Structure 1
Amino acid sequence: MDSTVVDVLTRFVACLPLVRKDDLPLLPTYWPRNERDSRAYLDTLARHVKQRMLAPNWTAIGGLFAVLGVPGDALDRFAAQVPAMSRRPYSLLLTNLTRDTVIVLDGPKLSVAALDWSSASYGDPLHGLASHLVRMRYPEDQWDEVIDAWVRGMRRTRPLAISGITRDLPHYIGFERIHAAYDDVIHAARSLGDSVEDGRLVEAAAHIGTALKDAADLLGMSEVPSEKEIADALFRWQAARFARKTDGLPDALFMWRRDPRVPERDDFSPVLVRRALAAEGLAPADLVFRGTAHLNTVVRVEGHPDPVVVRRETAAAPRREQGLLPEHAVLQLIEKSEAPIRAPRILALGFDDCGRHFAIHTYEGPEGRPPQHPVDGLLPAEADELVDELAALARVGHSSLSYEEPKEGFYRWLTERLAFFVDALPARTLEAAEQRGLPSGDVLRWALGRYEVAHRAPVILHGDLNPWNLVRAGRGGGLTIIDWEMGMIGDPLYDLVRHLHLTPTRTEMRMRMFDRWSSKLPPECVTGWEKDWRVYRWIEQIRSAYVDLDRMTTGAALDTPNVRRAVDAYEMTLSAATGSLGLRRRAVPKAPPALKAS
């Protein structure tokens, strides 16, 4: 923006404190009484935005926020972290002085005509500057010029307004970035009206993507969905709103295409699939669960007695490790076997209007509330249940699944898979690994190749029995195993050891589970387990050191609870991994920027 215009705008803003409070409308009763308390003003702003902008829209748009991974409590969390601020006298200010709400008039002297006074407020003038910087979208290299011009103007009209500007301005800028992101998401979504036209969806998705990228760190979003994913989410939201308005299923919407790998079921007809997709778009935020690889939305479907889950892969964070068996095939096999295993049933598999793949499962959480996970470890009865389910899984025949047993055995295959995973990591992750004393894939092959494990009969494995893949007191009672996308066929000992590695487990609980496991499984599945379980634990410690470091370095999925906890415990993970390999830890550098920002 031209420097002359900048000077005119900042002189206009500097004149606002000259308006006396007595000439302004009465303030809300909750406004700070101390008219120099900047910290109290920021807290009030956070509450004001939540009450006036988020709360009225949350029922309609909260689910969309959750689908996009946008937390609804970012303003509260941000305000709570701001330290004490310098005292500045309150004054009249404008919080939406943008390119769309102001006109610079030509003439002998340039002048300003403000078009939108609905954003007028009374508070810390430094907030007005921060809002102007963010909302006017000045290029970063012009910020210093704008700030200097504002300071010059305020020195003439309200000198105390510039107190503590260097320390406090970043707090208001952070607040405004979050506020602007919320505002832009709501405005872009509302701007669609009743349209599901591609061009408008793409335009709205671009606006939302830009707003979220600008505030991702402050929002606590480790990843921002792609514009295609945002556009698809907007389409589902719009289509669901339109269906609700018409009180039916429009002929042109929710016309899904079946994936032939899951045939039609007697208990879940194609019409029920359409109804589930229609309900998905307007699901409330507390029934939308965004994980490391999947977006799960719990919905009720007219004509079906129980809630179901619409399950989609997230495009933002593809897993570096993939399961070997399709999730739907494993679930079909478990259901057909009638084995005593609590797991979801797959009701449908297909492609929606946008060509995006989806699955519909039975919902295994408790009725009327989000699922509960044993994040602090299993209770004794739950541990027994899990072992019993693993024993039942070991007896499920898998000859119908496409599987070829590795010639060199499961353990050799697993170590080669880990070494290949390490070799394929991004260069910056490998650099961070080297700094911490973690070896290359070739060294891993050699180090882990020194061990041998006994042969045990291969069985179906879940592959990722972390606490978030276990549901307490679910729909069928007891402990339910969900998220089977990492399924494989291999050594039954591996599933139990991986669970013990990923779940807080006391020594006595570990021995209880091993004793029950070794007595419940067929003899050919437990041979030599006493010696071999430690080898699998070493592999999992080493794997976690690389997986968690990659997430810290790239920022992938850092806002999901299981990843957040793993990253917080990384020092212990790294020590265990280097100890397993007999290596010495190196001094750990400072945390990568992606981790700091979260």
Structure 2
Amino acid sequence: MSPDAPPGLDVGRLRAHLDRVRPGLVRGPLSARLIQGGRSNLTYRVTDGTRRWVVRRPPLGHVLATAHDMGREHRVISALSRTAVPVPATVVLCEDGAVLGAPFYVMEFVPGTPYRDAGELLPLGPQRTRQVVLGLLDTLVELHSVDPGAVGLADFGRPEGFLERQLRRWAKQLAASRSRELAGIEELHTALGRSLPRSPAPTVVHGDYRLDNALVGVDDRITAVLDWEMSTLGDPLTDLGLLAMYSTRLELPHSPISSTAGAPGHPGTDELIERYAARSGRDTSAISWYTAFAWFKLAVILEGIHYRYTLGQTVGDGFDRIGGVVPVFIEHGLTTLQEG
């Protein structure tokens, strides 16, 4: 497969569509390459030799359009472009599946580095690493300060009963991918349901907020927050709990799960939570529940990957080790909830 014609993106069809809806935008032959990373939707870097754009589309062979809603991603990014939250500028949304085989949208290319693990942060050194992560936290505060109604997102989700629906959703996901006994998983789910916190006022939530879903510029500032496919209106502390989980250092030799938490200078969870509380004014006293829920959610996701591995449906290295990580995440969830 030519790098100029990656799977899922016909550059000829893309060029014809852009010439039709945005005449004059593209000035030379288009080439494209698939950007590696990300768990779901496909991302491509496209250039005409002068300008660069990014194209997002659902995965190949996707079935449920609602799970890969390009219109929702395009809508939230377009809305947030009028705020202090750094997002790429959107160029065009195409919901006609006849062009590329699925709906897609085009956005401006934003320069920056996605730091995916602690090793990639090492060259920055402790002080710069600390500033990068604190900048990520401050950007989350900015996101949660956006008035959804003021940017046209008042109907972007159903915040009432948000946490209950989230628990049901991930329990359903677990039931669909169970291939073995998992000690403690039902206990964790039951305990979470028994101690649901009262949610603060709803905000736009990202749904998968972590360092490798952001781009960092040469000045160590966040240049863009990416991967909005799980965004909705809901409880902002779910984003904070997930960030706290990803900021917990795990002693897992040869772990297939990447984390930036072990990098020297990386702020700990307590500092991040205290900074969020101080800057947002929100009560974070129930954050242990949200962090435990994040451990539960990721355990379910990883168990699903392990299940697909046992069926021979995964390609690449490291999938054989995913199953061994799941019990560790369950245990962290239980411990976090008990300590809270």
TM-score by length of 2: 0.74
2:55 aligned with 1:313: no
Deviation at 1:358, TM superposition (A): 1.6
Question: Partner of 1:520 in structure 2?
Answer: 279
Structure number with the higher helix fraction is 1
Partners of 1:297 and 1:310 within 8 A in 2:
yes
Q: Deviations over 1:301-341 (max 9, x none)?
A: 36xx64211222112467999489811111111112xx222
Question: Partner of 1:536 in structure 2?
Answer: 290
For 1:477 and 1:439, locate their aligned partners in 2 and report how far apart those are by CA, in whole Å: 38
Deviation at 1:404, TM superposition (A): 5.7
Q: Deviations over 1:192-251 (max 9, x none)?
A: xxxxxxxxxxxxxxxxxxxxxxxxxxxxxxxxxxxxx5xxx5xx26x48xxxxxxxx9xx
Distance 1:271 1:490, change over 3 A: same
SS at match of 1:463: coil
Deviation at 1:581, TM superposition (A): 8.0
Structure showing greater relative contact order (alpha-carbon pairs closer than 8 Å, 6 or more residues apart): 2
Distance 1:329 1:421, change over 3 A: same
- Write the letter of the residue equivalent to 1:412: E
Task: Select which of 61, 76, 95 maps to 2:2.
Answer: 61
Task: Select which of 21, 43, 49 maps to 1:296.
Answer: 43
Task: Select which of 136, 141, 152 maps to 1:391.
Answer: 141
Q: How does 1:536-555 map to 2 (within 5 A)?
A: 536-555=290-309
Deviation at 1:257, TM superposition (A): 10
2:95 aligned with 1:343: no
Partners of 1:558 and 1:564 within 8 A in 2:
no
- Write the letter of the residue equivalent to 2:114: Q
Distance 1:571 1:438, change over 3 A: closer
Deviation at 1:484, TM superposition (A): 1.0
SS at match of 1:455: coil
Question: Partner of 1:375 in structure 2?
Answer: 117
Q: Deviations over 1:372-403 (max 9, x none)?
A: 32422792111221222122212222123224
Q: How does 1:109-188 map to 2 (within 5 A)?
A: none
For 1:510 and 1:292, locate their aligned partners in 2 and report how far apart those are by CA, in whole Å: 24
For 2:66 and 2:52, locate their aligned partners in 1 and report how far apart those are by CA, in whole Å: 30
SS at match of 2:194: coil
SS at match of 1:254: helix
Which protein is bigger by CA-based radius of gyration? 1
Task: Select which of 406, 410, 435 maps to 2:162.
Answer: 410
For 1:332 and 1:365, locate their aligned partners in 2 and report how far apart those are by CA, in whole Å: 18
Question: Partner of 1:573 in structure 2?
Answer: 329
Partners of 2:179 and 2:307 within 8 A in 1:
no
Deviation at 1:416, TM superposition (A): 2.5
Partners of 2:42 and 2:59 within 8 A in 1:
yes
Deviation at 1:342, TM superposition (A): 1.6
TM-score by length of 1: 0.44
Deviation at 1:542, TM superposition (A): 1.5
- Write the letter of the residue equivalent to 2:104: F
2:107 aligned with 1:361: yes
For 2:137 and 2:321, locate their aligned partners in 1 and report how far apart those are by CA, in whole Å: 25
For 2:37 and 2:56, locate their aligned partners in 1 and report how far apart those are by CA, in whole Å: 10
Question: Partner of 1:51 in structure 2?
Answer: none
Question: Which structure 1 residue ranges, 5 or more long, are not aligned?
Answer: 1-59, 69-228, 241-248, 259-263, 583-598
- Write the letter of the residue equivalent to 1:419: A
2:234 aligned with 1:490: yes
Task: Select which of 6, 16, 19 maps to 1:254.
Answer: 16
- Write the letter of the residue equivalent to 2:306: M
Q: How does 1:419-498 map to 2 (within 5 A)?
A: 419-423=171-175, 425=176, 429-432=177-180, 435-437=181-183, 439=185, 446-473=190-217, 477-498=221-242
For 2:246 and 2:66, locate their aligned partners in 1 and report how far apart those are by CA, in whole Å: 16
SS at match of 1:551: helix
Q: Deviations over 1:4-50 (max 9, x none)?
A: xxxxxxxxxxxxxxxxxxxxxxxxxxxxxxxxxxxxxxxxxxxxxxx
Partners of 1:349 and 1:360 within 8 A in 2:
yes
Distance 1:566 1:318, change over 3 A: farther
Partners of 1:311 and 1:358 within 8 A in 2:
yes
SS at match of 2:179: helix
SS at match of 1:360: strand
- Write the letter of the residue equivalent to 1:431: S
For 1:410 and 1:581, locate their aligned partners in 2 and report how far apart those are by CA, in whole Å: 19
Partners of 1:380 and 1:509 within 8 A in 2:
no
Q: Deviations over 1:91-124 (max 9, x none)?
A: xxxxxxxxxxxxxxxxxxxxxxxxxxxxxxxxxx
For 1:560 and 1:257, locate their aligned partners in 2 and report how far apart those are by CA, in whole Å: 40
Partners of 2:86 and 2:224 within 8 A in 1:
yes
Deviation at 1:541, TM superposition (A): 1.2
Distance 1:564 1:62, change over 3 A: farther
For 1:300 and 1:381, locate their aligned partners in 2 and report how far apart those are by CA, in whole Å: 32
For 2:214 and 2:314, locate their aligned partners in 1 and report how far apart those are by CA, in whole Å: 19
Deviation at 1:275, TM superposition (A): 6.0
- Write the letter of the residue equivalent to 1:460: V
SS at match of 1:61: coil
Question: Which structure 2 residue ranges, 5 or more long, are not aligned?
Answer: 122-127, 248-259
Distance 1:477 1:467, change over 3 A: closer
For 2:267 and 2:325, locate their aligned partners in 1 and report how far apart those are by CA, in whole Å: 22
For 1:477 and 1:564, locate their aligned partners in 2 and report how far apart those are by CA, in whole Å: 36
For 1:456 and 1:508, locate their aligned partners in 2 and report how far apart those are by CA, in whole Å: 25
Deviation at 1:466, TM superposition (A): 3.1
Q: How does 1:30-45 map to 2 (within 5 A)?
A: none
SS at match of 2:93: strand
